[in-house]
Amino acid sequence: MIRLFNTKRGLLALLAFATIWFIILYYFVSAASDIIASPTFEGMASQVFGALGVFALLNWDVAEFSIYWLVAVYFFPMFAILICSDQLCSDKQRGTLRFITLRATRLELILGRYLGQVLIISILILMTILATSFLASVRNIDLFYSSLTLGFRVWLELLVVVLPFIALMSMLNAFVSSAKFAIVIVTLFFGLGPLILALIKYQFGQEFYLNLLFPGEQIGEIFAQASSQTNHYLLPLVQTLLLLVFSYFAMKREPI
Amino acid sequence: MSIIDVVQLSKHYGDKQALDNISFQLSQGAPVALVGPNGAGKTTLFSLLCGYIQPSTGSIKILGENPGSSALFGRLSALPQDAQFDPRFSIATQLNFYARLQGMSNAESKKDTERVLDMVGLSDVINSRPSELSHGMRKRATIAQALLGTPEIVMLDEATAGLDPVNAREIRNIVSEHAHNTNFILSSHDLSELERLCEQVLYLDNGQLKQHQALNNDEHTRYLTLRMQKNHDEFSTKLLQIPSISDVQLTQDKEYLITIDQVETMDNMQFESTEMQLLKMLAENNWHYAQIINGKTLENRLF
């Protein structure tokens, strides 16, 4: 938290984040929600959302959040991978972790860093949610209350989506020695992983459900917001738990 | 009371054997020196004792606990070699944080941070970031973190390496001042420094424990180490004319190791008389000595 909000480098990263989201909200969310909310373009919006398979989003009370959701549900997992890529690496490399492990267990270290990252990401998501609510309220002040309640629901859903991504980076941080290397590995994991799974399926001719190991596996289903099934939330939570348990056991034996 | 028990400890990195089946026991008391050539396994042993790495085989107990156990937090502290503070935070912020992790309150941690920084002479840079400090100052700040709270064991790996003589002496003073209530384990290549501070020595060579002994001279044969200002012809021959001196060896340039035999049969007065005879001979021949050391130097003991 302090690294992000109280250091020059952290504040610069925060400024970059704010700039990106200003562009997304002002030029994309605001403009698109005007179109969706306009009775003139109602038919066109239905066609576009129908083609994308996200027709259910048109039923949301606040149009800004429909567009926000489409962007955020893919943006934040990728952002979490980037921003959480250095949970332990630089401290390990510098030897700072050696000072800390004389005063904290490795479980405390893994959980502390993980929860810290969750807190940071949750604050950043909340900031974008509040900005979206503000945009909606500026367009129509009557939407203020409904944008807050919908915003809270979206915040919670996004948080559940990013949890296993942060845990995946925690696990990688237990092994690798640099944040860049962690990003390279995670890129290969998501890039080559599906290909390997397809090869396994082709080779053995049956489904092993290994795709469930990939964080974000449920995003394709929740993207449309067509239905709310328990496994949409259960899967990321179970993935998070397993990744954290694995991180702990990896960290326990890892030299520091 | 035993503070560290190491039994049949081995550590290998792939094919390389860093530590080979070493066992030793350290008791509460005077500082312990950990010496050995580069690559002997000193830092590996430090890392194992601190719980940074896991042994391949064998066991370690520190104050009855496994290394890395939460029961050792605040009781064992260390200066790991080359470990650095986070460059983004001030020294005070980081020391406060470590003190808080040791269980101190916010007020206590601030007070203790000031205390340890004062001990290492860094009170005036308390709010500086590590990047604003010189190498020596950063080293002293990391030593300060090892002194937070009231640790029972403090392990310092190459604590004075890279420090100027004045600050190195300050660190030695800190060790000797606190040696009565804290057990220090020191690793250094400066043998004269270890000789001043330590009474026990662990000598590692090629991953094996070669010696584990007390430095104080308890042998039957007594030794004197004599450092002369110049070399002189016939020096050894003349020294051997003193009846109680049985051997004189030139250990290095202008340094002689003198063996005084049958000390167990001599009373204290006779031993002193050997030294008196020696001094008398030096004066008569106008030979100027630089230093006389009672016993062998650590260097002569080990190599």
Q: What is the 3-state secondary structure (H, E, C) of A38-96?
A: CHHHHHHHHHHHHHHCCHHHHHCCCHHHHHHHHHHHHHHHHHHHHHCCCCCHHHHHHCH
B75 touches chain A (CB under 8 A): no
Q: B173 or B58, which is more confident?
A: B58
Give A10-34 pLDDT, tens digit per residue. Answer: 788 889 889 999 999 988 888 877 7
Name the residue of chain B whose CA is nearest to A101's CA.
Answer: B68
Q: How are beta strands B76-79 and B16-27 bridged, if at all? A: unpaired
Across residues B17-21, what is the average pLDDT?
A: 93
Q: What is the pLDDT of residue B269?
A: 55
Q: What is the pLDDT of residue A81?
A: 95
Q: What is the pLDDT of residue B265?
A: 44
Q: Which CATH architecture has domain B222-302?
A: 2-Layer Sandwich (3.30)
Closest CA to A128 of A253, A14, A41: A14
User: By 3-state DSSP, what share of chain B in percent is helix, strand and coil, each rounded to 5?
Assistant: 35, 30, 35
Q: How are beta strands B2-13 and B16-27 bridged, if at all? A: antiparallel
Distance CA B143, CA A228 (A): 56
Residue found under tokens 């920084």: B117
Report whether pLDDT(A224) > 90. Answer: no
3-state class of B188 per DSSP? coil
CB contact under 8 A, A98 and B78: yes
Across residues A64-80, what is the average pLDDT?
A: 92
Residue found under tokens 């790495």: B53
**Residues of chain A neighbouring B45 (CB-CB closer than 8 A):** none
**What is the enclosing helix (H) or strand (E) of B239?**
helix B235-239
From A96, A99, A101, residue closest to B51, measured CB to CB: A101
From A3, A98, A101, residue closest to B88, measured CB to CB: A3
3-state class of A99 per DSSP? helix
Confidence of residue A215 (pLDDT cuts 50, 70, 90): very high
C-alpha distance from B68 to closest chain A C-alpha (Å): 7
Amino acid at A245: V
Measured CA to CA in angstroms, residue B37 lies from B106, B147, B185, B214 at distances of: 43, 27, 17, 20
Q: B215 or B41, which is more confident?
A: B41
Give B122-177 pLDDT, tens digit per residue. Answer: 999 999 999 999 888 999 999 999 999 999 999 999 888 888 888 888 888 888 88
C-alpha distance from B153 to closest chain A C-alpha (Å): 12
How much of chain B exceeds pLDDT 90, in percent? 45
Give B241-292 pLDDT, tens digit per residue. Answer: 888 888 888 888 888 888 887 554 455 555 567 888 888 888 888 889 998 8
Measured CA to CA in angstroms, residue A146 lies from A42, A49, A143, B30 at distances of: 21, 22, 5, 71
Report whether pLDDT(B30) > 80. Answer: yes
Distance CA B246, CA B221 (A): 10
**Mean pLDDT of all residues belonging to chain B:** 87
Distance CA B230, CA B290 (A): 9
From B82, B85, B98, residue closest to A103, measured CB to CB: B98
**Domain at B2-214, CATH class:** alpha beta
Token pair for residue A70? 């489409």
Least confident of A116-130, B76-90, B169-183: B169-183
**Residues of chain B neighbouring A96 (CB-CB closer than 8 A):** 83-86
Measured CA to CA in angstroms, residue A72 lies from A14, A227, A238 at distances of: 17, 18, 22
Confidence of residue A207 (pLDDT cuts 50, 70, 90): confident
CB contact under 8 A, A96 and B89: no
Report whether pLDDT(A59) > 90. Answer: no
Give B196-221 pLDDT, tens digit per residue. Answer: 788 888 889 889 988 666 655 555 67
Helix axis angle for A230-253 and A106-139, nearest 10°, is: 150
Q: Which residues of A touch B (CB under 8 A)?
A: 2-3, 7, 9, 91, 94-96, 98-106, 253, 255-256
Token pair for residue B223? 């030794």
How much of chain B exceeds pLDDT 70, in percent? 92
CB contact under 8 A, B83 and A106: no
**Residues of chain A neighbouring B89 (CB-CB closer than 8 A):** 2, 7
Least confident of A188-197, A246-255, B130-139, B163-172: B163-172
Q: Whole-prediction pTM value?
A: 0.83
CB contact under 8 A, B80 and A9: no
Closest CA to B300 of B200, B199, B191: B191
**Mean pLDDT of all residues belonging to chain A:** 88
Distance CA A119, CA A123 (A): 6
C-alpha distance from A185 to closest chain B C-alpha (Å): 24
Token pair for residue A178? 């640099």
B65 touches chain A (CB under 8 A): no
CB contact under 8 A, B68 and A94: no
Amino acid at B212: H
Chosen from B101, B113, B145, B156 to mutate, greatest number of chain A CBs within 10 A? B101
Confidence of residue A58 (pLDDT cuts 50, 70, 90): confident
Closest CA to A131 of A15, A30, A14: A30
**Residues of chain A neighbouring B47 (CB-CB closer than 8 A):** 255
Across residues A198-226, what is the average pLDDT?
A: 84
**Residues of chain B neighbouring A105 (CB-CB closer than 8 A):** 68, 70
Cβ distance A187 to A193 under 8 Å?
A: no
Chosen from A98, A100, A108, A253 to mutate, greatest number of chain B CBs within 10 A? A98
**Residues of chain B neighbouring A89 (CB-CB closer than 8 A):** none
Burial B179-188 (b: 16+ CB within 10 A, else e): beebbbbbbb
**Residues of chain B neighbouring A99 (CB-CB closer than 8 A):** 80, 83, 85, 94, 98, 142, 145
Q: What is the pLDDT of residue B183?
A: 93
CB contact under 8 A, B85 and A96: yes
Name the residue of chain B whose CA is nearest to A7's CA.
Answer: B88
Least confident of A40-44, A78-82, A119-123: A40-44
Residue B268: other Cβ atoms inside 10 A: 8
Domain ranges of chain B: 2-214, 222-302
Q: What is the pLDDT of residue B236?
A: 86
Distance CA A14, CA A124 (A): 9
Closest CA to B43 of A94, A174, A255: A255
CB contact under 8 A, B54 and A253: yes
CA dihedral B168, B169, B174, B175 (to 10 degrees): 80
Distance CA B194, CA B281 (A): 32
C-alpha distance from B83 to closest chain A C-alpha (Å): 4
Distance CA A110, CA A56 (A): 39
Sheet holding B2-13, edge to edge: B16-27, B2-13, B57-62
Across residues A105-129, what is the average pLDDT?
A: 95
For residue B76, what are the β-bridge partners? B73, B153
